Chain A
Amino acid sequence: DAGVIQSPRHEVTEMGQEVTLRCKPISGHNSLFWYRQTMMRGLELLIYFNNNVPIDDSGMPEDRFSAKMPNASFSTLKIQPSEPRDSAVYFCASRGQSITEAFFGQGTRLTVV
């Protein structure tokens, strides 16, 4: 299994541009998480899907952020418009049916200039 796959690994964009981060969870997993990590705030849970349905999006910072999971094998996190304070590493993770471990992707390092 290739694990959780995130793309791109690095993204540099200008303030005001739209940014789309992508995640392919592990096949068969039914829970998906998006996190953001910064030095100041650590690892923050942004949104949590179960069976492709958003369960808790209380961590999404503001309306500029949106996430979708159109099917069990793909999710996107979109920032529109992007701002310099959105610069962070964004992680996607997936988990199977039983309450065991979540598997994390390698992350996308986003820099907004």
Chain B
Amino acid sequence: DAKTTQPNSMESNEEEPVHLPCNHSTISGTDYIHWYRQLPSQGPEYVIHGLTSNVNNRMASLAIAEDRKSSTLILHRATLRDAAVYYCIPLLNTGGFKTIFGAGTRLFVKA
């Protein structure tokens, strides 16, 4: 399985942008990059995904490096509700696209 490396934790001020990095150097060309987050006492929820191009949705933006060995989840204006654990997950074609979670990054947002 592709390995991911994320910071254990990050801190942000409310209303400021947050850039959450992820290294996935062993990802292959047909593997998608998914991001999920888990709010306290809830199940994980999907945030965004991409393959090669940068992606935007109402929740966040995903910037994917040209060599696809890393990606960055961008929250444009962090709110207190964004405090959660964020998971970067390569969805492996050879793995049947099963979703395997690593340790993730715990994001703290200060008012």
Chain A interface residues (CB < 8 Å from chain B): 31, 33, 35, 42-45, 48, 50, 55-56, 91, 93, 95, 99-107
Contact residues, B86-104 vs A (CB, 8 A) = 87, 91, 95-104
Asked whether B46 lies within 8 Å of A101 as measured between CB atoms, the reply is yes
CB of B53 to closest CB in A, whole Å: 15
Main secondary structure, interface of B, reads: loop
**Which B-chain residue is minimally distant from A47 (CB atoms)?**
B98
* CB < 8 Å neighbour of A50 from B45, B96, B99, B102: B96
Asked whether B49 lies within 8 Å of A101 as measured between CB atoms, the reply is yes
* CB < 8 Å neighbour of B98 from A33, A100, A103: A33
B44 at the interface (CB under 8 A from A): yes
Asked whether A100 lies within 8 Å of B44 as measured between CB atoms, the reply is no
With A99-B91, A100-B49 as given contacts, are A55 and B44 in contact (CB-CB < 8 Å)? no
Chain A residues near B38 (CB, 8 Å)? 43
0/1 string, B18-35, CB within 8 A of A gives 1: 000000000000001010
